[in-house]
Structure 1
Amino acid sequence: MTARETVLLLLVVVLSLPGLIHTFKPLFTFSGNSTTHRDITRNAVLRKTAEICRDFAASEGQDFTLTINNNLSVETVQRACVSTSSFTSPLSTVMFHDAIINMYLRNAIVDLVYTLSDEHHFDKETFQGGRDVITAGVSAVKAAVKLENFVAARGILGQVCHTLQDFYSHSNWVELSNNAPYSALTRPDQPLENLAGPSTPTCRNCTGGDCADNLLPDLLQQGLLTSGYFSIFSSEKPTGKCSHGGVFDQTSRQDPVGGINKDEVESSHGSLHHKAADVAVDATMELLEDIRLAVGDKNFLRLMGLSQSSVLCFVIDTTGSMSDDIAEAKRVSFEIIDSKRGTLQEPSAYILVPFNDPGFGPLTITTNADTFKDSINKLSARGGGDTPELSLSGLQLALTAAPPSSEIFVFTDAPAKDFQLKGIITALIERTKSVVTFMLTDVLSRRRRRRTPTGVRPRKIGQSDAQLYRDLAQASGGQVIEVTKSDLSLATSVIEDSSASAIVTVFQVVKNPGTPDNFTFIVDGSLRNVTVYITGNSFLTFHLTNSRGVSQNSSQSSGPLASLSSVGNLRRLRLKADMQTGIWQISVSSNNLYSVKVIGQSSVDCIFNLVEATERVHGGFNLKEGRPLSGGNISILLTVTGSETVKVTEVTLFDSSGPTEVNGSLQPMENGIFLVTFSGVPAGDFVLLMKGENRSVSLKSTPDTFQRQVSTQIKTSSISITTQANSITIEPGSSVTIPFTVATTTNGVVNDSATGMITVQANNDRSYPSNITFEVGSGGKTNGTVTLRAPPNATSGTDVTLTIEARNAASADINYAVIGLSVVAKVTDFTSPLCQVVSTSATCPSSSSQCASSQWEFVANLTDGDTGTGIQRITVRQGSGTLNTSTVVGAGGENITVATYNASCCSPNVELIAVDNIGNVGRCVGQAREDPTDPTDSTNPTNPTIVVVKPTGTGGHTLSISHSLWISVVVSVLWK
């Protein structure tokens, strides 16, 4: 065994032991009433989001009755943030839930990846190192948001929050009677003061296991800051220093014995656990406020996932025969844009990726509908010759750019030239949970093909080529629509259907080879606009039967249950509005490949995440990367959205290609969240089906039953691949090395005697240089590393997705690891923009009845200092006046932004926010002067003129968690 393997094995052993985690507990607690990192992160996000919506409602004169505290839920916040009078469709909270889940799962992973890093946990008095982790992470978040890489930004933000929150559990900050956050941790322009010196004693022995008074009185009297030492390998620590404490902290056995952590109520200083958690919530909100001011309200809400609609994403073949297809993609996208613009159902973003051969891209991703229109207008069909095109390369770019759970549409009439990317694409689909639907024209058409207006003869896709697209569609829960070019416009209704809000999958199955079969699905009272899609050849027939026995067959275009339209291989049934709830059945007769998919609109949906459960007493588990192992156990964290009255009764995995079905064991974690465990799952391609009861939509004494199916397939593998990415960022011009281990398993356990060849390849979506190295394998395992290098000119904030794929010799079994990295240039500018008040002109009457007839003006000069990166923007955070800016050159050659603000005396206060190009935030505050001669001022008519101006240049941070703010930029997102 190599030295590296020995260290890794030791870490695996100790990490699996109970009680090792030395932080606020990561996700959930199964005993006591301790607060977890998940609770802290979730509460801070919900409160900060609710504050934005509250203040915006106030600025619009609308009611906002939600009480902002730590008892908020995702559903109550999103409902409060949406103008229900202008939004009658079901309310979806999936994106909001998913964003928060992503943040707290990435928060929890710090305990696994950085277990022994003092800086990531503020252990051993590493205050400067801990602050460096926070400030570097915040800079990375701001850079990623600037480029609209929200998924990457959420992951980094979750990890940064973990380190920040640990400070309040591991240091003596709250023991020093501090009730507010330590703002210097997020403000690198401020000094870290009153730190205990390296040789300053900080603790004395705990007495009889009681550590309540083990901090030295001199330390408390002087207000010195310290944190506990922690080690699982050695008891060594400086003389007189505090320990973290706990069963596995070896330093806590050396004088002074005991510890000072507040990780849970049972900890050494557990009596202060809840106080530390409360301050950690406020500190997290303070961090979120800084990010919000830096990126703007609209992007902050997108970062939080507060949206009612998904993206509109097209991947389009632009070779010569595709002119008809491009025209149809343009038509349907314009129709969606024009019909939904300015509403809450307007797509949250627009993505376009063209491809042909030999190129693909560029990627267009924008929130501006007109920019998207302009990009798709510029597409033209030209070139061609050899039939295959780079369709999978274009799809890869879309999958890594689009938010999770996006719906992606691929238009082509050609096979994939880059078919070797199938495994990579499948891995990205499984990781992002995005749905891919292929719009294929002229698949194996036997008639003579007409030429396009450009004279290019249309191509054809063979059945084996089409099967590649079918496999990818099935893996994602999408469809393959096969039509002629002239009929494509009749099939794009599926795109319009998917662009509605709150789309859920009720049931889906693919039969290949096809056999006649009967399928049942439940229609519940929360569903609206239920649509059934059936794909198959022209000989397919079906019968649809509702819960009362009423039937309609495939020959009835307008029957008692639904309206039917058919084009190409697609049958689309839209159930009538007065549909009956209960169990429906659809019987399909065909011996060829076919699929059935049932969708609808509902607020009730589910989100799943594969996790790896551990044996810790606190029930910890971490995010599972890659596929679960064949024959082993599968753990899934299941979150049910949209209703607080839902009860999940059954969760199963079933393989539609065979009779295999595995029932899950349900463990409720808290309202709407369940840990589902499946034992001994065999090899196969499974989908997850959830059934339950919902009392909120039922007027009967019995609850309303429902079912939801997860679109993305869950595939098992006998190949294990694990990685240890010690960094999620990479600097331009530098390299990152990621170690990995590949092994063959049997029944979920590494097979030490396994033989055979496993091929490993690495791929990234940015085409950055990379290479793989291997060590000599033993015991059924092989170790290796992937080294990835970012070009020197890589833009800070760019995200790169690295996929490591391992497959056996027959290529029948595949597993993968997907690592998301962010390119972040090293930040050296931590100085906030400076504000110099020039003047506050005019005076205002003190009487509110006379304010409307008077105006006042505020003028300030804003600069970013000699070494700054320049001011990016200035906005009005408080005040209802008009802001104008201009740029002049100062005496020293520096750029000065002159801000001139004019307002009515009815709005006598102003707060300007200045953000530089790095994301540092500065504030400039002013107030109108009162007229000392105002006869209506009976309180002090002889007062002299008063000027209240507070120019600041030390950042935009504050201890307050409630502000009046500008939010006009999010009107189209929330309230239109």
Structure 2
Amino acid sequence: MMSGLAVLCLLLLQTGAHGFRLGGNSVTHQQITENAILNMTTQVCRALAMAEGKDFKFPPPPFTAESVALACETTKSSKTFHKTISLIREKNKMVDYYFFWSAKHHFDDETFTEGRDVIVKGLSSVKASIKQGKLAAGREQLGKILHTLQDFYSHSNWVEMKNEQPNSNLIRANTIIGNIDKNRPTCRNCDGDNCMNNILEDVLQDKILTTGYFSYFFPSKPKGKCSHGGKADQTSRIEPKGGINKDAFDSNHGYLHLQATKLAEAATTELLEDVRQAAGDKSFLRFLGITRGKPLCFVIDTTGSMMDDITEVKRVTSSLIDSKVVTEDEPSVYILVPFNDPEFGPLIRTTDPEAFKKSINSLTADGGGDAPEMSLSGLQLALTGAPSGSEIFLFTDAPAKDINLKSPVIALIEQTKSVVNFMITKVLGFRRRRQSDDNQQEEQQQYRMLRSDSQVYRDLADASGGQFIEVTKSELPKATSIITESSSASLVTLLQATRNAGNAENFPFTIDETVTSLTIYITGRSVSFTLISPSGVAQSSTNVSGPLIITSCSVGNFQTVQLNTQVGLWEIKMMSTNPYTLKVVGKSPIDFLFDFLDVEGLTGGYYVIDSRPKAGVNGSMQVTITGSTSAVVREASLVESSGSGVVNGSVEAQGGGEFLVHFDRIPSVDFVVLVKGQSSNTSNILFQRQSNTNIRASTLTVTAADINSILVPGTPLSIPFTVSTTGAGGTFSIQVTNDRGFSPAFPSSLSLETGGRASGTVTITAPLNTTSGSDVTLTIQAEAPGGTDTNYALKRLTVLRTVTDFIPPVCQLHSLQSNCSSNCSLLTWELSVLVTDGANGTGVDRVSITQGNGTLNTSLAGGDNGTMLVSYVSTCCSPDVELGVVDHVGNVGTCFYTVRAGTTNSTQAPNTQAVGSLSTKAVQSFLLCISILILGLITSEAVIN
């Protein structure tokens, strides 16, 4: 059997080469990042499988998100895994956009300490976010610091000094990065275009660490120092001329491009390993999006009249958990947000189904006062705390008191692409207090007013692609079947439409061979329809016993219809004089992700737009197919949500399941994304998938500067932002909200000229008692005069107390007993270790086995620093153990012990070795192996996927 070291070396060899800069056959930050994540994920899944006594089958090279998810036995999470990798890659890439001028973010200008501080502070933030379950914030921060880490190997002379393993001190504070002399000349002029020998020999001999200087505007640098190089670097035009960067094959030191990228990937792997050790294997996989089923998220009104609803939620939760907890549809995380008046929250998040049951069962209905409640505050908290793409169920019988949050909530829905279903019981507002029971006319007036109050819920359901379900309290148990149906991780949307004025209309939709459990959802009063199957058979909604419909259920304004699945082109003819929504769903592994793109001026290429796309102009979109390695996109369209208008795009395959789509025009009305393609080369039937989220374009652009995303409690953080418009000028209203209830300072309005822009600043302060690792989602919204147009910028901040503890816990050997002999299976050895974190440490948080097959037990040994007494027992067939020890801020160390069979059966054999160390010895060993193998064997050039 291969050792973990050999396996990880093999993993990195299987994926080929990577690189930094897009262009030619050079490779990019994104490729380095993705391949390191795929390799590390495979290794962690293998370790967990072995720990559980399961076989593990390596995916075929080159690794993909699909193949790794399959190897990890979580095929239904490949969409989440894809999404996570894309987010980390994009945040890595955007460092060049937001921090183009910042030397420390690229290790330019010999900013070694500053660059290392960026990495170390960001790494602490990542670990704190994972510990608090704030995974999105941690993923964003990870992408950013990986860019800086990777740039070290391209922008410094680490490779030229013949180093064959990463500089591990770049991820550790208060360590020596290298031999640095900022006053010493480091370079000579290049020989024309040949810069192979432009670093001075004595600099390389004395191991003097340097990086190139860079300036886009001014030809200025310290005398004798190296330049970054390239057309954009003005310093490379003054002596010493040329540069030393290895960003691409055509760079000044491009002949070392492959070595630099391999060391950058090994360093990325080392950092990921450090995060893994701090988080633990299961938490680390959740962080990367490797999970089983979808999140289960409830937002529940707990005011006085909600007793029946809460009872039903308890029943559904218990039934759902009991039916799924041992299946691949087991929810990846359970989230509960209660709300009342004026309180809402806290958000409860757990991966333990029994703990979630306990939280649900502890809910009681009480209080509330007047009818409106803080429903949108609760929903805002859920949208920021739940993973992207979640299905959220909100239960209430009252209108929203905090209707001012409607726009920020829609912004969150658009960003997270989560689906929100509203389970509304009774007539909104008829509870607790009816001030005029004797006055029927006033009551009817109140009814009409409260029906209009419900519109905010309808609008939010439509924006997210969810259902607005109105039932009586006695009908609620019948309506909650949608929760069970919607909780499948393989559920996909095939068709979705909203009609605000009822008209007769035909809707075609295609069912491919991968679709099962075909179901139709309809909301609306007095809606009828006729179905026509691919074979031409028709059946009306009044005939429930026909050949096409398996079951049909109506309750309140909600109707579900389950169909006999037939491959081919279907048609549904809707007939209604009332507003309605139509949604056709099924189960299939094939789905898609999409993001709108813009062109970046300085570095070229596309970047993902974090807000609404620009209305009325051309635009581009990236589509990624998930759940299949053979499916291809043939068509992509933008379809009006409430009408028949369609804008078709031109599709360009990018490889790896990614497609670039160009549109001549982005619609100015709400629309959804429709994708069609072939599931395989042999399929004659196009698959059809549609986005749940309604997209609305805008003539406004709101951009928040990404200067800093770490919020220190008690310290104000200022975030500059800009608002620009391609339309008419005037006074634009500014609204800034957040999910933590903090009170930011910001301008209430900005004045813009026609086609102009204006700037403002948001200042926010987290209270001193804010938990480290929690996050704050800030929404900055601009509204055009008269409310005719809006757009927003979302910024996720991580709250992080200043970290002063950078020293990992230490192990002290208490005892080691062994009577091992040649018959290892019948004998055991025992180990006792005291783990402490020092007088000024944050305390021992966790001890785990990183190598070994024995049994570990831990107990608190007293003291204020969380000292732990660790005992370990193993058969003599497993003579080695490595313990991972982690403190409360994520400092990771390893303690290694080994026994070898001696010639005596005494409790402490004379020849027994007992070695304990606190180091990153294991990490350094496999990284050394990686470097030696890769640098010795790589002979081919890399090709961009």
- Which residue matches 1:242? 226
- 1:692-740 per-position Cα deviation (integer Å, ceiling 9, x unaligned): 11117xxxx5543101101111101222222213011110111111112
Structure 1 pair 424/944, CA: closer, same or farther in 2 (3 Å)? closer
User: Per the alignment, do residues 867 and 449 of structure 1 end up closer, same or farther by CA in structure 2, a change over 3 Å counting?
Assistant: closer
Partner amino acid for 2:559?
A: R
Q: 1:200–1:240: 8 Å Cα contact kept in structure 2?
A: yes
Show the counterpart of 2:295. Answer: 311
Say whether 1:573 aligns with 2:554.
Answer: no
Instruction: Give the AA of the match of 1:709.
Output: Q
Question: 1:412 offset after TM fit, Å?
Answer: 1.2
Question: 1:100 maps to what in 2?
Answer: 85
Higher deviation after alignment, 403-412 or 712-721: 712-721
Equivalent residue letter for 1:583: L
Please tell me whether residue 556 in structure 1 is matched to residue 538 in structure 2. no
Say whether residues 1:497 and 2:488 are aligned partners. no
Is residue 528–residue 541 contact of structure 2 (8 Å, CA) maintained in 1?
A: yes
The residue aligned with 1:898 is 869
Q: Does 1:185 align with 2:170?
A: yes
**Aligned pairs for 1:458-537 within 5 A:** 462-537=450-525
Distance 1:558-1:62 versus aligned 2 partners, 3 A rule:
same
1:809 equivalenced with 2:785 (yes/no): yes
Q: 1:962 to 1:317 in 2, by over 3 A?
A: farther
**Offset, 1:283:** 0.8
Of 913, 916, 927, which aligns to 2:887? 916
Distance 1:328 1:962 in 2: 58
Whether contact under 8 Å (2:398, 2:428) holds in the other structure is no
The equivalent residue for 2:273 is: 289
Counterpart for residue 788 of structure 1: 764
Secondary structure of the structure 2 residue equivalent to 1:144: helix
1:644 aligns with 2:629: yes
Matches within 5 A, 1:260-409: 260-409=244-393
Deviates more, 1:654-663 or 1:579-588: 654-663
Label 1:319 to 1:242 Cα distance change in 2 as closer, same or farther (>3 A). Answer: same
Q: Which residue of 1 is the match for residue 151 of structure 2?
A: 166
Residues 180, 959 of structure 1: 8 Å contact kept: no
| Letter matched to residue 613 of structure 1 | V
Does the 8 Å contact 1:183/1:957 carry over to 2? no
> Counterpart amino acid of 1:72?
F
Letter in 2 for 1:424: P
Amino acid paired to 1:559: G
Q: CA offset at residue 198 of structure 1?
A: 1.1
Residue of 230, 237, 240 corresponding to 1:256: 240
Q: Are 1:613 and 2:599 matched, yes or no?
A: yes
Aligned-CA RMSD value? 2.5
Picking from 593, 607, 611, the partner of 1:626 is 611
Residues 517-556 of structure 1, C-alpha deviations (whole Å, 9 max, x = no match): 000111011112121111221x221011111111221112
Indicate the SS of the match to 2:628: coil
Q: Which residue of 2 aligns with 1:582?
A: 568
**Secondary structure of 1:876's partner?**
strand
1:123-134 matches, within 5 Å, as 123-134=108-119
What is the letter of the counterpart of residue 367 of structure 2? G
2:740 aligns to what? 766
1:598 alignment partner, SS class = strand
Deviation at residue 843 of structure 1 after TM alignment: 2.7
Partner SS for 1:884: strand
Q: Is the contact between residue 230 and residue 243 of structure 1 (CA under 8 Å) also seen in structure 2?
A: yes
User: Aligned partners of 1:254, 1:680: CA distance in 2, in Å?
Assistant: 46
Alignment partners' CA distance in 1, 2:101 and 2:154: 16
On the 8 A contact 2:132/2:774 being kept in 1, the answer is yes
Gaps of 5+ in 1: 1-22, 84-89, 451-456, 747-753, 936-942, 964-976
Q: Which runs of 5+ in 2 are unaligned?
A: 1-17, 435-442, 930-945
Aligned AA (1:175): E
TM-superposed CA distance for 1:623, in Å, is 2.4
Q: How does 1:633-712 map to 2 (within 5 A)?
A: 633-695=618-680, 701-712=682-693
Deviation at 1:899, TM superposition (A): 1.8
CA distance in 2, matches of 1:659, 1:377: 46
Flag the 1:655–1:689 CA change in 2: closer, same or farther, 3 A: same
CA deviations over 1:111-166 (Å, ceiling 9, x no partner): 11111111110111111111111111110000010100001100000101111111
Cα 1:446/1:108, change in 2 over 3 Å: closer
TM-score w.r.t. length of structure 1: 0.88
3-state SS in 1 of match to 2:192: coil
Distance in 2, matches of 1:428 and 1:634, equals 22
Equivalent-residue separation in structure 1 for 2:511 and 2:736 (angstroms): 44
Does residue 1:45 correspond to 2:14, yes or no?
A: no
Q: In structure 1, what is the Cα distance between the partners aligned to 2:41 and 2:431?
A: 58
Q: Which amino acid aligns with 1:761?
A: Q
Answer yes or no: is 1:122 the counterpart of 2:107: yes
Contact 1:834 1:953 in 2 (8 A): no
CA–CA distance in 1 between the matches of 2:532 and 2:606? 43
| 1:597 maps to amino acid | K
Specify whether residues 251 and 670 from structure 1 end up closer, same or farther in structure 2 by C-alpha distance, changes over 3 A only: same
Deviation at 1:947, TM superposition (A): 1.3
Query: What SS is found at the alignment partner of 1:101?
Result: helix
Q: Secondary structure at the match of 1:515?
A: coil
- Distance in 2 between the 1:406 and 1:230 partners? 44
Whether 2:912 is the aligned partner of 1:946: answer yes
Secondary structure of the residue aligned to 2:240 is: coil
> Is 2:819–2:905's contact at 8 Å kept on the other side of the alignment?
no
CA-to-partner distance for each residue in 1:58-103, whole Å, 9 max, x for gaps?
A: 344443332686x2100110111118xxxxxx73411100111110
Helix, strand or coil at the partner of 1:281: helix
Distance, in Å, in 2 between the alignment partners of 1:756 and 1:817 is 20
Contact conserved, 2:341 with 2:369, CA < 8 A, in 1?
Answer: no
Q: Does 1:74 align with 2:62?
A: no
**Shift in CA distance, 914/481, structure 1 to aligned 2, threshold 3 Å:** same
Q: Percent identity?
A: 48
Contact 1:776/1:783 (<8 A) preserved: no
Q: Determine helix, strand or coil for the equivalent of 1:75.
A: helix
The Cα shift of 1:889 comes to 5.8
- Supply the AA of the counterpart residue of 2:67: T
1:604 equivalent among 581, 590, 611: 590
Match of 1:727 in 2: 708
Paired with 2:552 and 2:427, the residues of 1 have a C-alpha distance of: 23
Q: Deviations over 1:909-955 (max 9, x none)?
A: 111111111111111111124222489xxxxxxx9613141322578
Residue deviations 1:502-525 (CA, integer Å, cap 9, x gap): 111111000111211000111011
> Cα offset for 1:791?
0.9
What are the Cα deviations for residues 547-572 of structure 1, in whole angstroms up to 9, with x where unaligned?
Answer: 11112211122321122111111221
Question: 1:739 is matched with which residue: 716, 720, 723?
Answer: 720
Shift of the alpha carbon at 1:807? 1.2
Question: Partners in 1 of 2:729 and 2:632 — Cα distance?
Answer: 47
- 8 A Cα contact 2:165 2:927, kept in partner: no
Q: Are the counterparts in 2 of residues 24 and 169 from structure 1 also a CA contact under 8 Å?
A: no
TM superposition shift of 1:777: 5.3
Distance apart, 1:382 and its partner CA? 2.4
Residue 247 of structure 2 aligns to a residue in which SS?
coil
Partner Cα distance (1:446, 1:545) in 2: 42
Mapped to 1, the partners of 2:233 and 2:430 lie a distance apart of 74
Letter in 2 for 1:50: T
How far did 1:860 drift?
2.0
TM-score by length of 2: 0.91
The aligned length equals: 897
How far residue 634 of structure 1 moved from its aligned partner, in angstroms, is 2.6
In 2, the alpha carbon distance for the partners of 1:154 and 1:558 equals: 51
Measured in 2, the distance between the counterparts of 1:217 and 1:446 equals 85
851, 856, 861: which one aligns with 1:883:
856
Give the conservation status (yes or no) of the 8 Å contact 1:411–1:439.
Answer: yes
Aligned equivalent of 1:20: none
Amino acid at match of 1:771: A
Could you tell me which amino acid in structure 2 is paired with residue 742 of structure 1?
V
Question: Could you tell me whether the CA contact under 8 Å between 1:834 and 1:954 is conserved in 2?
Answer: no
